Structure 1
Amino acid sequence: MSVDPYAVLGVAKTATQDEIKKAYRKLAKQLHPDLHPGDAAKHAEFQAVSAANDLLGDPEKRKRFDAGEIDASGQERPERQYYHHYADQDAGGRYAPEGDTGGFQDASDIFSDLFGRRQQGGAGARGHGFHARGQDLRYNLDVDFMDVARGAKRGVTMPDGNRIEISIPPGLKDGQTLRLRGKGGPGFGEGPAGDALVTVAVRPHPVFKRDGNDIEVDLPITFDEAVLGAKVEVPTISGPVTMTIPKGVSSGRRLRIKGKGIDPGKGAAGHQFVRLKIVLPDHIDAKMEELAESWRDHAGFDPRKDLRRET
């Protein structure tokens, strides 16, 4: 009995591509071999879920499966192969065994040729073998922000239990897909293996945010650093650097550290933009209150005058 890929993913046949994707991601996270080492049953379930997603996650393959042109493994159904072989004949000879068989002794010999099985006892039987490229298999991989910011190599366990190393290039974007040549399903006959298509989901970072190849950071500074200026340490994706805070800056002021963004290896690296945020201590002591009152009495500064003018 053939496996129903819709049932494997737990979705209806009317499910949208987005619903299929969400169902696969949920199951893949639950069943991944890294979470169940040595559990053959969970391993088999993970393989089934991956195969179902490979079929239904591809709109064209899904359409052909729903039309009955391919089976749940993505292979042509035998009767379709028979039809394709005869598609260029006249309508009367496409299905008749006694029609022109192009050198085959009978219809069964056609399938012997397609699947590499030699017909027994037929003097004119031929068995050249069926060779086809293996299936492309799709996977999802969660990676750290710093892995895509700086580039990294990460080992992952494939459904067959083999552990391979994946190179994550710097600048890879969330949702982008890596193609691993020859790491997909095995080929048929002498056909090559398919590819593994790994879609990357980037985990957010608590400090760094990305805008293209630029990096953005919110930097807290003290009241005195804002008034007097200072040299402060700022984190970057390549390590901390010292930055000069000019005198008299306000919260929201944006400073640039040139070349400290993501370097994708092609063209110039991005920059890091630092947004300043003046932060007061939780407890305001008497000396700070006295300083603020003294300044208020003689400064006459109104930071909201432009706001009133515009309204």
Structure 2
Amino acid sequence: MADPYTILGVSKTATDDEIRKAYKSLAKKNHPDLNPGDKEAEARFKDISAAHTFLSDKEKRRAYDAGEIDEQGQEKPQRRYYRDYADTGAGERYYTSPEGGFEGFGGSGDFSDLFGDILRRRDAGTGTGAGTGPGGAQFRMRGGDAHYALPVDFLEAVNGAKKRVDMPDGKTLDITIPAGVEEGQTLRLKGQGMPGIGGGPAGDALITVSVLPHPVFRREGQDIKSVLPVTLGEALAGGSVPVETVTGPVNVKIPKNSNTGRVLRLRGKGVQGKAKGDHLVELQVVLPPEPDAALEDFVTAWERDHPYNPRQGG
């Protein structure tokens, strides 16, 4: 992944809301469902989702801005200087001249002691050695955790899914997406991280989930919400109308004399986690797409004989 700020088209000083708005706009434009067969749009969509997930993690964003990690979330090697290894007082490894310049090595230390210490620290801290500590003693060290960002379709997050995913480092992982997983939640895969040192155990793979938006459904906690357009006749007389839910289509009974804004609750048709949520369907009365003189004349005459004010409170 390239620079996440560049991918989303925002500055490093962007607020969380600005980052979220940029992500939603780009994700909608490049969503695979709206660009079938367009591999470039699919690749952009994955990069956009990964960048949003990365910058939504406050600690990762801080560390990235400070230059401590790269775009993949991996730690950058820190440059170290000779003063990091200096001692003071008796047996000091170096001393400073009265003018403040570096003078040389003093006390009982020598070059072999200093650089041996440096190399031992390097091997123990970075894992570049062969698992041998000071004096030739063997040591074991657990491998580091590997961090990944994973875009997940809305319905996969709600219902759960199994995915085989090619990670940025070339590794292929089989991942179980639990039903009800939320935006920003991290999945842990034991032993799928960096290899251990000296026979130590491997680290874990930490996968941060980014849930992609859906064109119809939106989530609030464990509930799913959507809007259902109905005709004037269906709103007045009621009837049975098909409705899409996250688990498939169902028929919903529209009560007579239903207004726009009325909410119907479909129990158990929301998020399919350990505790299932509900699906809340908001009705929206829609007039015919083209003007109809007969309908207009009828409603005008009816209102003349049956006046009412929908804007009057109480």
What TM bracket, shorter-length normalisation?
0.5 to 0.7
Question: Aligned partner of 2:256: which letter?
Answer: K
| Alpha-carbon contact 1:17-1:59 (below 8 Å) kept | no
Distance between the aligned counterparts of 1:257 and 1:302, measured in 2? 32
Cα distance, 1:213 vs. partner?
A: 0.5
**Is 2:168 the partner of 1:165?**
no
4+ residue runs of structure 1 moved beyond 3 angstroms?
8-11, 15-19, 58-66, 71-83, 90-99, 105-119
Tell me the residue number matched to 2:60: 57
Tell me the residue number matched to 1:43: none
TM-score scaled by length of structure 2:
0.64
Picking from 275, 282, 291, the partner of 2:289 is 282
SS for the counterpart of 1:179 is strand
RMSD (Å), alpha carbons: 4.2
Q: Summarize the alignment of residues 152-231 of structure 1 with structure 2, pairs less than 5 Å apart.
A: 152-231=161-240
Tell me the residue number matched to 1:301: 308
Question: Aligned partner of 1:176: which letter?
Answer: Q
**Could you report, residue by residue, the CA deviation over 1:54-85 in whole angstroms, capped at 9, with x for unpaired residues?**
9x93857997969xxxx9655897989978xx
Distance between the aligned counterparts of 1:108 and 1:155, measured in 2? 46
Distance between the aligned counterparts of 1:209 and 1:109, measured in 2? 60
Task: Decide which moves more: 255-264 or 218-227.
Answer: 255-264
| Alpha-carbon contact 1:208-1:216 (below 8 Å) kept | yes
Unaligned runs of 5+ in 1: 1-7, 27-34, 37-48, 100-104, 120-124
Question: Aligned partner of 2:175: which letter?
Answer: I
| Alpha-carbon contact 2:130-2:197 (below 8 Å) kept | no
Cα distance, 1:130 vs. partner?
A: 3.9
Question: Aligned partner of 1:157: which letter?
Answer: D
Cα distance, 1:196 vs. partner?
A: 1.9
Q: Rate the CA distance shift 1:193–1:281 in 2: closer, same or farther, 3 A.
A: same
Cα distance, 1:229 vs. partner?
A: 0.8
Unaligned runs of 5+ in 2: 6-10, 27-38, 41-50, 95-105
Q: Rate the CA distance shift 1:286–1:57 in 2: closer, same or farther, 3 A.
A: closer
Q: Rate the CA distance shift 1:220–1:80 in 2: closer, same or farther, 3 A.
A: farther
Q: Rate the CA distance shift 1:177–1:295 in 2: closer, same or farther, 3 A.
A: same
Tell me the residue number matched to 2:259: 250
Distance between the aligned counterparts of 2:215 and 2:84, measured in 1? 55
TM-score scaled by length of structure 1:
0.64
